[in-house]
Chains A and B, each alone.
Chain A
Amino acid sequence: MGYEELFPPYDMEWHAHSTRRFANPFVDNKYDRVDVDPVMLSHAAVACGYTIRDFYEKPELGIHCLAHIYQLYDLLPVTHWFYASPWLADLGCKMVYKDTLPPIPESEILHEPGDVDALHVPSPEELYDGWTYSQYKRLYAYVQKNIPQTFVPISYGFDPVGEAAALCGVENFIMWTFVEQDAAHKLLEKFTQTAINGALCTAKDFGSAMLVVASVLANNDIFSDEAIREYSVKYMREYIDKSFRGGAGPQIFYHCCGNHETSYKEFQNLIWSPFTVLHIGYKGPEAFPSDLLVQEYGNKATCMGSVDTKLLINPNPKVVYDASAKQIIAGRDAPRGYILGTACECPPYSLPGNILAMTRAAKDYGTYGKW
């Protein structure tokens, strides 16, 4: 039995409505309301009675759960599946599955700065049949066969600083940025090139590839603005530039979760395409204010505002509703559109009433023509 037999038919009427709404921020439509994207991953599997581990270990099941649950909460018409450590297995890490986490490397594989020299960057040909891309080939074939209307080819560079740190250990990496800067840059260069080669695989197979790249570990709780520019933004930029040169894009999702209290200004140095969404998680301990997000980036990208993810596991939907309303009111006039998100992935055990509170706020405060 295939995973598709576990799910009822996909609601095409809802899909048509959701697709039209999803186009709003990208082509200046004013249909229905502001969209809500709670950055959902394994919550979808949990909501269908499976486990966090199932979501990551069985990508086809995971993405079908997502397509199904998006209908429940009236979210997006497109699907995505990923874990936070793409390409690490292809660089030599042994990935282990956990019951409550995405797959993670069993241990770091680089111990001294000199070890970086020996790290082999897999070519696109090597990656094509490697650990990471093989999962995507299988997954995308499944989606195209069973829920093709939800399909978007996506490639994940994800968090270059975070991935580099996973290869050598977070403490090591942070120390290297102070005392072994050449090694830190070389490692970032090698991870970034690997991710670019991965994007080229997707572009080759599908003719385009939405690019997801992040600045997560590189945030103001750990790094200065200058360090975020030097170690994070520089490589996010390189990832986009070189992936575009190989035919990837045109969509970009910049995911900048963590605290970007002052470093948010550094993202001005990114590359912008006609289909770019910029998402910033926090400013200090608070969800990043949407009015500031729109003021800084509203004329360059679609802005994705944030509701603090911590709120989604507290039994108080009204607090989520109020936080959502505040962000929507502050962001809904963004010249290139606004999406209400959560500051990072919605927790796997998010309370359904809280996600419903986000879409309810979008209806009440984000319906076009009502403000």
Chain B
Amino acid sequence: MDVKFSDSVKELIGERGLKIDDVIDIINTAESSNRKLNDGSKNLAKKRIGEVTIYAVYDDNGNVETAYSHRMVLGEIQKTTDEPDPTNWVCVSCNEKAVIGTVLMTYMGVTRSGPAVVCEKCGDAWIEEYLATKTIAAAEGLFEKKKA
């Protein structure tokens, strides 16, 4: 896939301390493995690179809309709600509707629970941008402060 970035997206990626090459790698890996979410118009792909999980949101023509990251390591899905909230995302690998679920999250040796978009069939989990850049980022900051 020919991955393309607007100037504003390049700037955003830089501000978030991410590398363009990593984002390209994530998209190419997702396209070759089909391990991604799709909502009919855009894709959400992710890859753990070093100490961070990096996400890319892009359309079928390779235009990158945004990229972001978190440091927590996502683990198993936890069974919580009996009636999970649906999302617009479909797990492409499983052709299964993804839902809002709960997953284990580990950071600095501490494992807790947190919300994520999950595929209940394959057990994979993704964090959406609003959570990664705000709530989860704040949680990582709190872990660092409380562990200090």
A293 and B141 CA atoms in complex are apart in Å by 28
Taking the closest CB of chain B, its distance from the CB of A20, in whole angstroms, is 9
Check if A269 sits within 8 Å of B135, measured CB to CB. no
Cross-chain contact A275 with B112 (CB below 8 angstroms): yes
> Which residue of chain A lies nearest to B109 when distances are taken between CB atoms in the complex?
A28
How far does the Cβ of A11 sit from chain B's closest Cβ, in whole Å? Answer: 21
Identify which of B72, B109, B134, B146 contacts A244 (C-beta below 8 A): B134
In the complex, what residue of chain A is closest to B142 when comparing beta carbons?
A275
Distance between A241 CB and nearest chain B CB, rounded to angstroms: 7
B134→A273 contact, CB < 8 A = no
Residue of A nearest to B113 (CB): A272
Of the candidates A247, A270, A272, the one whose C-beta lies within 8 Å of that of B134 is: A247
Q: How far is the CA of A369 from the CA of B39 in the complex (A)?
A: 51
Query: Which B-chain residue is minimally distant from A301 (CB atoms)?
Result: B113
* A250 x B136 contact (CB < 8 A): yes
Contact (A271, B115) CB under 8 Å given A26-B146, A27-B108, A241-B100: yes
CA distance A268 to B83 in the complex (A): 11
- Chain B CB within 8 A of A276 CB: yes
Which residues from 122 to 148 on chain B have a C-beta closer than 8 Å to any C-beta of chain A? 130-131, 134-136, 138-139, 142-143, 146-147
Asked if A268 contacts B80 (CB within 8 A), the reply is: yes
Q: A233 → chain B, closest Cβ, in Å?
A: 9
CA distance A271 to B100 in the complex (A): 9
Residues in A with CB closer than 8 Å to B64 are none
Residues 94-126 of chain B, each 1 if its beta carbon lies under 8 Å from chain A, else 0: 000000101001011110111100000000000
Q: Restricting to A233-277, which residues have a CB under 8 Å from any CB of B?
A: 237, 241, 244-245, 247-251, 268-276
Report the minimal beta-carbon distance from B56 to chain A, rounded to whole angstroms: 20
Indicate if A207 sits at the interface (CB-CB under 8 A).
yes
User: Is A336 an interface position by the 8 A CB rule?
Assistant: yes
Q: Confirm or deny: B81 has a beta carbon within 8 angstroms of a beta carbon on chain A.
A: yes
Contacts between chains A and B (CB distance < 8 A), count: 91
How far, in Å, is B127 (CB) from chain A's closest CB? 11
Q: Contact between B113 and A274 (Cβ–Cβ < 8 Å)? A: yes
Whether B80 lies near A269 (C-beta < 8 A) is: yes
The yes or no answer to B85 lying at the interface (CB within 8 A) is: yes
| Cβ of A147 to closest chain B Cβ, rounded Å | 18
Nearest A-chain residue to B131, judged by Cβ: A244
Query: How far, in whole Å, are A271 and B135 apart by their CA atoms in the complex?
Result: 13
Given A26-B146, A241-B100, A244-B135, the answer on whether A273 and B114 have CB atoms closer than 8 Å is yes
Tell me if B78 and A299 are in contact (CB < 8 A): yes
- B51 sits at the interface (CB 8 A): no
Choose one: B82, B102, B130, B147; the contact of A272 (CB below 8 Å): B102
Residues A26 and B142 in contact in the complex (CB < 8 Å), given A269-B81, A276-B113: yes
A-B contact pairs, 8 of them (CB 8 A): A27-B110, A241-B115, A268-B82, A269-B82, A270-B81, A272-B113, A273-B115, A300-B113
A interface residue numbers (CB < 8 A to B): 23, 26-29, 203, 207-208, 237, 241, 244-245, 247-251, 268-276, 299-301, 336
